[in-house]
Amino acid sequence: MNITFWPESAPTEAVLLLCAFVLSAVIGVEREIRHKSAGARTHILVGLGSALFTLVSAYGFAEVLGSDVMLDPSRIAAQIVTGIGFLGAGVIFVRRNSVAGLTTAASIWVTAAVGMACGAGMPFAAVLTVLLYLSAVTVVNLIVRHLPTVRGSAVYAVRYEDGRGVLRDLLQRASELGYQASLSRARRRTERDGTGVVETTLRFSRRQSAPVQEELMQLLTEHDGVVHVQALQDDHD
């Protein structure tokens, strides 16, 4: 095997890798702004890795080609699609009847596709995909939230530390996100270590659209002072 530090395809490879870096960063920054589990660095690495795999498939085995040797560059694409599924599954969390992380997993999947498109020499398709992705998570999301649908609600059992203003902050944050929150049950108890906790049942609803389970679960579980969250069956559904 001959090692060439500056092959003829080097400028093309550099431009395509840079394209994958920039476009993957755009998706990652959007996830970072929304404080998701996979942010800019993860998406950049996924896009760059997918682009490099595709470039290796396209240019890395040119010397071994001959009349008796045939390569299928599309095989590496299939392997990337299979492999990226494991990474996406790592950001999906299932809590009883609530699932969180699906959008982030889908963004990782799309980022891999963007990187593969860049590596395959299809920057236009990659740019268009990123633009459509941004439209899906912004414009389409706003439209869906304002669609006139049946009023929906979600009920959660929340246990939090007493004396830290957790309930007040949760209700305020839920209101900022467009939810109406109501408290149906509250009971204070003392743990074995002397810590005071409050067990509550909270109902979240929206006037125009059903609540987003992922958004609510993330709000509750990631709030400082919340000890435990459990999704309950809504008897009014």
Tell me the mean pLDDT per 10 residues along the chain, length 237.
Answer: 69 90 91 79 90 82 61 74 78 61 84 90 91 86 62 77 84 80 81 81 68 69 83 58
CA angle 176/178/180 to nearest 5° reads 100
pLDDT of residue 210: 47
CATH 3.30.70.260 for the 153-232 domain, yes or no = yes
pLDDT of residue 150: 45
Q: Residue 65 has what DSSP assignment?
A: -
Pinpoint the residues of the chain covered by CATH 3.30.70.260: 153-232
> Of 162, 155, 202, which Cα lies nearest the Cα of 183?
202
DSSP per-residue codes, 11-54: HHHHHHHHHHHHHHHHHHHHHHHTT-SS-HHHHHHHHHHHHHHH
pLDDT of residue 21: 94
Q: At what angle do helices 102-119 and 10-33 cross, to 10 degrees?
A: 170
pLDDT of residue 85: 79
- How far does the chain reach from its first CA to its final CA, in angstroms? 66
Q: Is the separation of the CB atoms in 28 and 42 below 8 Å?
A: yes
Mention every residue, 6+ apart, whose C-beta is less than 8 A from residue 150.
210
- Rounded to whole angstroms, the Cα distance separating 21 from 40 reads 10
Is pTM beyond 0.75? Reply is no
Condensed to tens digits (0 to 9), the pLDDT of residues 179-221 reads 778 777 788 888 777 778 888 888 887 655 545 566 777 777 8
